[in-house]
Amino acid sequence: MAATRRPGRNHLFIPGPTNIPDRVLRAMHVPSEDHRSPDFPALVKPLFQDAKMVFGSEAGTIIFYPSSGTGIWESALANTLCRGDKVLTARYGQFSHLWVDMAQRLGLDVIVQDEAWGTGADPEKIGQALRADTEHKIKAVMVVHNETATGVTSDIGAVRKAIDAAGHPALLFVDGISSIGSLPFEMDAWKVDCAIAGSQKGFMLPAGLGVLCASAKAIKASEGTAGGNDRLGHVYFAWSDQLKQNPTGYFPYTPPLPLLYGLREALECIKEEGLQNVYHRHHVLAEATRQAVAAWGLKTCAKEPKWNSDTVTAILAPEGVDAAKIIKHAYDRYNLSLGAGLSQVAGKVFRIGHLGDLNELSLLGAIAGAEMAMIDCGVHVTPGSGVAAASSYLREHPLTRG
């Protein structure tokens, strides 16, 4: 039998890939073209400058790769470090764990500070470790800004203060994949050396374009020869190849053309809304979601309000309830895609992503769908309670600053 048609759109509320504006979809509908033509730099050159705005940087250097954010993780490590180098990182969720795993597999000596899932990086502990490293053997500090597995945001500004207070020269690498373009990010002010982003989150594009912003200090580290043959191997992700050709508006290999056209339009969307309004909108939508969670009588995975993420809320299912069943039922019955629990929180949480191209009514649809799915799965919540709490909050808090 043929599958039954499901009317309407799938309601996508995972924490990435995110919803894409229609105008961005239209901008990506382009024929193939010669990426070596004399006209091509007119598309490319402005992107390197305009993308820096989203990182909160004027001094940084943008590099684009046809890859997911994972590729940009590898690029940051492979271009700046040597085999056996010590790196310091905090681990408090699935994605911070995966970055640890990558660094170890690349041959780095990873010092891991494990934190409880539902919390984030501890600047004080990072500072203590750096002060104890009097020989400056730690070459980099790695921090995931927004841990999507648990709905937790860490304070990068406080991490930078801890590094400076320790008087340590370590590079600062920040995974901003689910924060950049959605949450306040101040690369220059925080003196971040490598900031990592992916097209499928705050940039409101399909997956496939990795974006890195590197400081002058990181670029200098990539040019060093002190490691000799112990430099980590990199070919596809070599910065040097990109930096030779990017200033002229070209790439060392075939770029993802539709994504570049989409990026140009997405950056225009961000400019028109204004970054401060983008940040404000995400905060309002996140707080409305948290109001719904409280009305349901449930708790978020974030252990304290200071850890709350404004791009994704991880909601703890009641004791004895399999969150995976709620997620499956929401998809099968209501065509609603919710984020699954990962690793330590698998089956314990479901996640509502509220980043990208969203407004009040979009979010209320997700909250209504999640509420109905929970009730269908035997969770005792009052019908309409979450929607009522969220809508009351949204009525009182416009998405645009007045």
Section 351-377 average pLDDT? 97
Question: Sorting pLDDT into bands at 50, 70 and 90, what band is 256?
Answer: very high
Section 339-352 average pLDDT? 96
DSSP, res 180: B
Question: Sorting pLDDT into bands at 50, 70 and 90, what band is 254?
Answer: very high
pLDDT attached to residue 5: 78
pLDDT attached to residue 225: 53
Question: Sorting pLDDT into bands at 50, 70 and 90, what band is 309?
Answer: very high
Question: CA 72 to CA 237: how far, in whole Å?
Answer: 8
Question: Sorting pLDDT into bands at 50, 70 and 90, what band is 157?
Answer: very high
Question: If you average pLDDT over every residue of the chain, what do you get?
Answer: 96
**To which H or E segment does residue 90 belong?**
strand 86-91
Section 285-304 average pLDDT? 98
386-395 pLDDT tens trace: 999 999 999 9
pLDDT attached to residue 402: 63
pLDDT at 2 over 60: no
pLDDT at 35 over 60: yes
pLDDT attached to residue 229: 58
195-233 pLDDT tens trace: 999 999 999 999 999 999 999 999 999 997 555 558 888
pLDDT attached to residue 8: 87
pLDDT attached to residue 334: 97
pLDDT attached to residue 228: 54
pLDDT at 168 over 80: yes
pLDDT at 250 over 60: yes
pLDDT at 377 over 80: yes
pLDDT attached to residue 226: 53
Bond before 17 cis per omega within 30 degrees:
yes
What percent of the chain shows pLDDT beyond 90? 95
pLDDT at 127 over 80: yes
Section 17-30 average pLDDT? 97
pLDDT attached to residue 224: 78
pLDDT at 1 over 60: no
Question: CA 77 to CA 70: how far, in whole Å?
Answer: 11
Question: CA 72 to CA 38: how far, in whole Å?
Answer: 29
Section 298-326 average pLDDT? 97
Q: How many CB atoms lie within 10 A of CB 207?
A: 15
Section 176-198 average pLDDT? 98
Residues 30, 36, 42, 47, Cα dihedral to 10°: 80
- Considering only CA atoms, give the Rg of the chain: 22
Residue 365, CB-side half-sphere exposure with 13 Å CA sphere: 15
pLDDT attached to residue 85: 96
Section 264-274 average pLDDT? 98
Residues 178, 182, 184, 190, Cα dihedral to 10°: 40
What percent of the chain shows pLDDT beyond 70? 98
Question: Sorting pLDDT into bands at 50, 70 and 90, what band is 6?
Answer: confident
Domains for the chain: give ranges and CATH numbers: 22-270 (3.40.640.10), 274-396 (3.90.1150.10)
User: The whole model's pTM is what?
Assistant: 0.96
Question: CA 310 to CA 371: how far, in whole Å?
Answer: 20
65-120 pLDDT tens trace: 999 999 999 999 999 999 999 999 999 999 999 999 999 999 999 999 999 999 99
Copy the structure tokens of residue 208.
Answer: 């496939």
Question: Which carries the bigger pLDDT value, residue 4 or residue 180?
Answer: 180
Going by C-alpha positions, the residue among 372, 343, 362, 398 that lies closest to residue 19 is 362
| Identity at 80, one-letter amino acid code | T
42-78 pLDDT tens trace: 999 999 999 999 999 999 999 999 999 999 999 999 9
Torsion 220-226-227-231 (CA) sign: positive
